[in-house]
Structure 1
Amino acid sequence: MTRPLRILVAEGGTVELRERHAAQSGRTPSAFYADILTTLGKDLGAEIETEICFPADEGAVLPDAAGLEGYDGVAITGSGLNLWKGERSSLAQVDFARAVFDAGVPIFGSCWGLQVAAAAAGGAVTRNPQGREVGIARSIRVTEAGRAAGLHQGRREVFDAPAIHSDEVSVLPEGATVTATNELCAVQAAEIRHGKGVFWGVQFHPEYTFAELGGILTRITPIMVEEGFFRAPEEAGKYVADLVALDEDPGRKDVAWRLGVAPSVLDPKVRRTELINWLGRVTAEASARGRA
């Protein structure tokens, strides 16, 4: 009998950030991520056991090198933190990602996860001088190197995806390959080889539902108004209401048209292409090692 795949989900937020997220969305980012991975595993015919760790927490109990090697993969969630601030809660996550690289365990990261992995491998993260990318990231283009890699297998050459970030990977580490890019963010996705490990990650959020995205936008509505995305909170409320309506009924052509959401973004399987491809890789590597 094959054993379940063991995936460790690293929460990117502090206690305060994740409790605030759960108060709005009902779950912490790591709990939401773990649920998505479990669901995707079932779709792939793989049983997945997820565990959650909190590297941002003071005094967090984290697996050592031997403990990390017992996992088949590690996934790093998004976060409201900023690496360029140099806070302990951020730098501790960089150290954790470095340990995962050294253990040789496959890593995936969304948004913050990509930034943390890049920093762990020697790169740099700064504010995006073009400002925040929020809602739906448009016209993400798979690079020539990306077409040859497995991360975006099954993607159109140009696609849209849910996103929300104000920072970007500004300096690539050695061993990094940009696999997707767009006008607002040069590093929309990357493969990073460092130590004994390989990271696949994206600056967008393939795991998000429209309702999850709407919950985040509700919390940051004052920032969105201040930055000029909406003229008033009421406009933000209408946008979020449309996102929730689209989540409840993806067939709402009127809402999809109003928000400019492409059919490929409406399809959860297509939207989560990169996560699905990573899980396929994790499964294949576990089988090759005789662990699945």
Structure 2
Amino acid sequence: MALRFLVVEGNTRGARQAHKENYGLTPSESYAEVIRSIAEDAVCDIAFPADEGANLPDAAGLESYDGIVLTGSHLNIYDRTPEILSQIELMRSVYASRTPSFGSCWGLQVAAVAAEGDVRQNPFGREVGIARKLTLTEAGRSHPLLGGRPASYDAPAIHLDMVTALPEDSIVLASNAVSPVQAAEIRKDGGVFWGVQYHPEFSLSELASLLRRRTDILVREGFCRTEEEALAYADDLAALDRDPARFDLAWRHGIDAEVLEPQRRTREIRNFIEHKVRTEKSARGRA
């Protein structure tokens, strides 16, 4: 029987359309493709909780899914606008449904706030391009979410905000010098969420597409000296995605197999599907 996933798009309509115009897919469509590349039996629905009047599933509807995945977003959760509040409420329903859930970046932040945690702007600034030296905690070394990851690894990332206070029933699984919560498990109302602050779903090509639309930020915040330099960096990432054997580019930007090889880069999503979604499907009598 097919695995049924709900992919929850964190962006507003304008932001996801801009992503599609530049990359060819919205973030949720891209995420769904990654899920299907890992689990050929996966069927993915997409929800848009940031849209006014969106028809969202209730707890009973959420229970019908085998797994729920939350994408990243351009929003800042501490703004508490209607499109943000609707996503927090949806995540509370996800917990109540007890359906296994996973999220990247914004997904982790929504899951934390929905369980009474907190998110603020990172005082160390933006983490962009590649998150470096992500390090497993003692709990992370034995947690199935990070199974197969080395003790220290890199991953695609782009975020300004970070989880500053985790809910009571949570476990930090990985951290680095930029963000103390880079991977975590959060439990609430019988539901379990696994999430990461980085983006294991991003290919270098998708990351390059995002960076091309943020060259002003890269220059303003000191990552690059000029817009041309920022575009050149994005072009290098896209070229490396097309040809991972480009040792010159991998060496120049310090990008290793944990990012270059899709099976390694998407490790957390694979582990979520294998160790949480399929296991829970069987336990719930859906196999």
Secondary structure of residue in 1 paired with 2:139: helix
Give 1:263 deviation, angstroms. Answer: 2.2
Q: 1:135 pairs with 124, 129, 132, which one?
A: 129
Partners in 2 of 1:148 and 1:259 — Cα distance?
Answer: 30
Provide the aligned length of Structure 1 versus Structure 2: 286
Q: Aligned runs of 1:13-162 on 2, under 5 Å?
A: 13-42=11-40, 47-162=41-156
Partners in 2 of 1:221 and 1:84 — Cα distance?
Answer: 25
Q: Aligned runs of 1:172-211 on 2, under 5 Å?
A: 172-211=166-205
Q: Does the alignment pair 1:286 with 2:284? A: no
Secondary structure of residue in 1 paired with 2:187: strand
Partners in 2 of 1:264 and 1:289 — Cα distance?
Answer: 33
**Does the Cα contact within 8 Å between 2:257 and 2:264 map onto a contact in 1?**
no
Q: Cα deviation per residue 1:65-122 (whole Å; 9 max; x = unaligned)? A: 1111100110000000001111111111011000000010110000000000000000
Q: Please name the residue that 2:244 is paired with.
A: 250
Give 1:57 deviation, angstroms. Answer: 0.9
Give 1:167 deviation, angstroms. Answer: 0.2
Partners in 1 of 2:262 and 2:29 — Cα distance?
Answer: 18
**Does the Cα contact within 8 Å between 2:103 and 2:195 map onto a contact in 1?**
yes
2:4 is matched by which residue type in structure 1? R
Secondary structure of residue in 2 paired with 1:208: coil
Give 1:196 deviation, angstroms. Answer: 1.6
Q: Gaps spanning 5+ residues in structure 2: where?
A: none
Secondary structure of residue in 2 paired with 1:286: helix
Partners in 2 of 1:167 and 1:270 — Cα distance?
Answer: 25
Partners in 2 of 1:22 and 1:179 — Cα distance?
Answer: 32
Q: Gaps spanning 5+ residues in structure 1: where?
A: none
1:255 is matched by which residue type in structure 2? L
CA RMSD, Structure 1 to Structure 2 (Å): 0.7
Partners in 1 of 2:165 and 2:285 — Cα distance?
Answer: 37
Extract structure 1 runs of 4+ deviating beyond 4 A: none
Which TM-score applies when normalising by structure 2?
Answer: 0.98
Provide the identity percentage.
52
Give 1:288 deviation, angstroms. Answer: 2.1
Give 1:148 deviation, angstroms. Answer: 2.2
Q: Cα deviation per residue 1:222-265 (whole Å; 9 max; x = unaligned)? A: 11111111111100111011001101000000000011101222
